[in-house]
Every structure is written in structure tokens, then in C-alpha cells.
Amino acid sequence: MMNNLAYKDEPRAEIIRGKTVMMSPSPTIGHNTVAGNVYRIFANFLRGKRCRVFTDNVDVHLDEENTFVPDVTIVCDRSKLRADGIYGAPDLVVEVLSPSTATRDKGTKKAVYERAGVLEYWIVDPLAKSIDVYHLRENRLELDYSYVEFPDWEWARMTEKERAEARLSVKISLYDDLVVDVREVFEDMDI
């Protein structure tokens, strides 16, 4: 059976340090589920507020040498929005790891986001069910916390103290009342 979807014919690419880098052809179901969950959580909260949330396929033009296509972004300065993408640093960027992109997301792209002034950066690992949250402090994206969805068997083995200390919700730096339950990010990951 032949697939005639138009978007399948167009290769996806980013520009990283002035070089065109081809993106993975299609994300996995798990990758797509996680990105969709994050987008839904943010979109529901941001309805009617000044900040806007965008999902994959929106170009983020950080500078002349770097145009990325993150999985989810939040932009509060609407002057950065144009018909063909976002121009300047988003306030929050989420990259969902794929085996072929993990090194770039954790290294090169994190460094470019840092230099551009992204305030909060998430690296979400669907396989490990973890979220590394970085905040910009003194012009550096520093790891704030690594959040994990604990499997039931591990939760059952934890002491009361360990359970009490486990952080299962992420407070977004942009809004005092935007808190994300880690379990919601990884909801429906049974495939």
C-alpha cells in the first residue's frame, strides 16, 4: 500500500550552527504521545492568557545560524511571532528525546538555547519516563531537577520518607499556578 500523504514527501530539517541537519522522518507513537500530552497540558492552562503554546512543525529562528523545530514551545512575547515561525528565544522549550536526536538535544541544542536566552528548557525521555528541567540562571541553563515517573513496583519498594521526598509535579517558572503532574506527561504510554 502506497502512502501519499504530502508531508511525508517533504524532508524535515533544522539549521544547527549554520549546517542543515535532517530530522528523523517520523516520531514514534511514544514520542508523539508525550509531546501531545505536554502540548495539551500547556494549551489548556494558557487558554485566554498572553503566552501561546506551539507544537512540532513551527520553526524557531534563534539567530542566523540556528533554526530549530522543537517539540513544544511557549512564547509570551507575541512580537516574536510571524506567519512563518518564531523569531527569537521562546520562554520555554520542550524537546522529547529520540535515539537519533538525544545527543544534539542534550548538547548542541541546549547550548544554543542557553545562548539565545530560553528561560526554561525541558528534556523529556519517553523511555526512562523522566523530565530534566533546566532554568536560565546568570545566562546558563542549569539543571533544576530531574523528575521521574516511578513504576508501581519501585514505588511499592520505597520507604515512606522516599515517597514523601519524591517530586511528582513540575512547577513551570512562567506562572505561579502552572504545575504539571509528571504522570500526565507519560499518560497512555502503553504502546
Q: How far apart are CA 175 and CA 119, in angstroms?
A: 12
Give CA–CA dist 132/147, Å, rounded.
Answer: 6
C-alpha cell at 79: 512580537
Q: Is residue 156 predicted with pLDDT exceeding 70?
A: yes
- Among 98-102, 177-181, 183-187, the range scoring the smallest mean pLDDT is 98-102
Q: For the segment 87-135, what is each residue's pLDDT rounded down to a tens digit?
A: 999 999 999 998 878 888 899 999 999 999 999 999 999 999 999 999 9
Question: What's the rounded mean pLDDT across residues 7-31?
Answer: 66
User: What pLDDT, on a 0 to 100 scale, did the predictor assign at position 6?
Assistant: 47
Distance of CA 40 to the CA centre of its chain: 12
Q: What is the mean pLDDT of the chain?
A: 89
Among residues of the chain, what percentage have pLDDT more than 70? Answer: 86
Q: Is the pLDDT of residue 55 over 80?
A: yes
Q: What is the pLDDT of residue 4?
A: 46
Q: Which positions ≥6 away from 81 have C-beta within 8 Å? A: 52, 75, 87
Distance CA 124, CA 39 (A): 13
Q: Kindly state the average pLDDT of the residues 22-28.
A: 67
pTM of the full structure: 0.87
Question: Hey, what domains does the chain have and what are their CATH numbers?
Answer: 14-185 (3.90.1570.10)
Question: Is residue 2 scored above 70 in pLDDT?
Answer: no
